[in-house]
Structure 1
């Protein structure tokens, strides 16, 4: 490749950024032509290509890429001092390619219409609605907990293997798609990440590989959240990039599953958002709600908290801040912490679709 062509490719990053931001200012276009036309075709193609392979192809690609980058820095790192212009030209060629591929394969979904507009539901709620819905959630969680355990003090353990849970996620999406056709999920491509240990110490339950469209789940964190986390990562696969929207869809897929453990996982998963909102507004009322919840459910929450506490490192906040900055740079103004929007989506969704 000639130096002139490399220079053109390297400098293409700047018009690419402008083009993405311009297209992103037209969410209706993104929704119509990308998220509901081009992307579904591409994502299904990638899932058909890689979904049948039992291990994470994307993680293997990342490993190879890391090795090649290290090799480049070792063998040609001296270019930074001796041929600084050539060094940055090489680096920006790679950055331009990755930027283009990321947005083509998945990233433009960050700029689609908010899901509350697509579902024609509201995105605000009153404090009274928050309390009423929380009451319903507590009752539902207690009910499911007793159905599973017959003892309100017993912690629930998911009785399935990771692969069994991956297979079972399709049932929830199939049932959900009868209500919301756009949320149909097929074929599946969900794997246990080869980097589960790294994900754990970084503080993440999973991620979507945007280049292979494989849903990656942290295989070390096997607790009541696992079914819903799996559904959450699949929500990313079908084109919902925002974390709050993936939380909402992952919850819906879990509670629409015929399996009671999936339902239990989904309801507990979102109850913490509602309790968190109450705690932020009224800590004393939050403590009162804790007395209404079966002690076995509290043990499930404690199990999760202990897992993350055990693996917490000083570097975790830096990883979280990096991801938070990444989200904000990709049209997610609230970053990771968007709990109130999940609460709003659920309250307004159930106005049209009661429990």
Structure 2
């Protein structure tokens, strides 16, 4: 590639950043022309292209890029040392291409209109409203748990394989699309990540590859969590980037699924967020509600806790810090804490549509 062309691509990064910052002030444009215009076409095209493959093209792409980058650095280390400016220009060029591709293929969804506007619900709530919702979630979870186990003391064991769980995730979205047609999900592309062990040590249950639009689920996590996590990642695929909103859509899809294991996974996942919110200000109420959960549910919670504790490592906080910074740089000012902001959506949605 000619020197001047490389320079043009490299320095185009700066006007790109300014353009994205400008578009961030126009969420109505993003919602209309990107999230409901260009993006659904891009997403479905990639799902059709890669969804039928049993392995992750995105994971392979990442691995190849890392190998090529390391190989380049090793082979050109002396050249780089004495020609630092061309090297920095090439790095800037790569960043420019990645920045454009990321935002065009998926990232502009970070700047779409908040979901509460679409659903016409508030994002503030009172303590009594939160407690009432948590009580309802506890009752729902206990009821479904007993329907599955016929024993309040037994942990739920999902009888499906990981692949079956991922395939079943689309069913909830099919039901949900009867109410919200824009959330229709066809041409599924949900896969176990080839790097599930690495994801585990990084502390993640899944992710969406923004360059191939493949939903990746951690393949070695306890299956108790899989129905909700797979539904969450599909929420990213249909165009929602904010973690609280994707948690919320994943929850709605999972509880819309007629399968009891999906509903159990979603209800018990949301209880965790609600109880954490209550515990921050009212330990007594937290203790009361927590004690109302069936012992079998607590065993499922302990299974997940034991899994993450067994994979604790010094680098996990580093990865979490990087991801936290990434989220903040992409219009999620609460960073990783934005996951827990799903509580506001849950409370207000169920004020409008009771459990």
Q: CA deviation at 1:256?
A: 0.4
Q: 1:351 and 2:351 equivalent?
A: yes
Question: C-alpha separation between the residues in 1 aligned to 2:243 and 2:234?
Answer: 12
Question: C-alpha separation between the residues in 2 aligned to 1:90 and 1:53?
Answer: 33
Q: How many residues align?
A: 355
Runs of 4+ in 1 over 4 A off after TM superposition: none
Q: 1:25 and 2:31 equivalent?
A: no
- 1:206-245 paired onto structure 2 within 5 Å: 206-245=206-245
Question: C-alpha separation between the residues in 1 aligned to 2:51 and 2:257?
Answer: 21
Which segment is superposed worse, 334-343 or 3-12? 334-343
1:296-336 deviations in Å (ceiling 9; x for gaps): 00111111011000001011011001000000000000011
1:253-274 deviations in Å (ceiling 9; x for gaps): 1100010111101100101011
Question: C-alpha separation between the residues in 2 aligned to 1:181 and 1:32?
Answer: 15
Which segment is superposed worse, 227-236 or 333-342? 333-342
Change (3 A) 1:339 1:2: closer
Question: C-alpha separation between the residues in 1 aligned to 2:185 and 2:264?
Answer: 21
Question: C-alpha separation between the residues in 2 aligned to 1:127 and 1:340?
Answer: 16
Number of the residue aligned with 2:15: 15
Number of the residue aligned with 1:146: 146
- 1:137-216 paired onto structure 2 within 5 Å: 137-216=137-216
Contact 1:79 1:86 in 2 (8 A): no
- 1:314-325 paired onto structure 2 within 5 Å: 314-325=314-325
Number of the residue aligned with 1:123: 123
Contact 1:133 1:347 in 2 (8 A): yes
Q: CA deviation at 1:340?
A: 5.0
Runs (5+) with no aligned partner, structure 2:
none
Q: 1:100 and 2:88 equivalent?
A: no
**What secondary structure sits across from 2:273 in the alignment?**
helix
**What secondary structure sits across from 1:336 in the alignment?**
helix
Q: CA deviation at 1:134?
A: 0.7
Question: C-alpha separation between the residues in 2 aligned to 1:253 and 1:118?
Answer: 17
Contact 1:223 1:304 in 2 (8 A): no
Contact 1:251 1:266 in 2 (8 A): yes
Question: C-alpha separation between the residues in 1 aligned to 2:348 and 2:340?
Answer: 12
Contact 2:222 2:303 in 1 (8 A): no
* Aligned-residue CA RMSD (Å): 0.9
1:181-237 deviations in Å (ceiling 9; x for gaps): 111111100000000000000000000000000000000103311100000001000
Q: TM-score, normalised by structure 2?
A: 0.98
Question: C-alpha separation between the residues in 2 aligned to 1:222 and 1:56?
Answer: 21
Q: TM-score, normalised by structure 1?
A: 0.98
Runs (5+) with no aligned partner, structure 1:
none
Contact 1:123 1:341 in 2 (8 A): no
Number of the residue aligned with 1:260: 260
Q: CA deviation at 1:120?
A: 1.2
Question: C-alpha separation between the residues in 2 aligned to 1:119 and 1:270?
Answer: 19
Question: C-alpha separation between the residues in 2 aligned to 1:154 and 1:10?
Answer: 59
Contact 2:133 2:350 in 1 (8 A): no
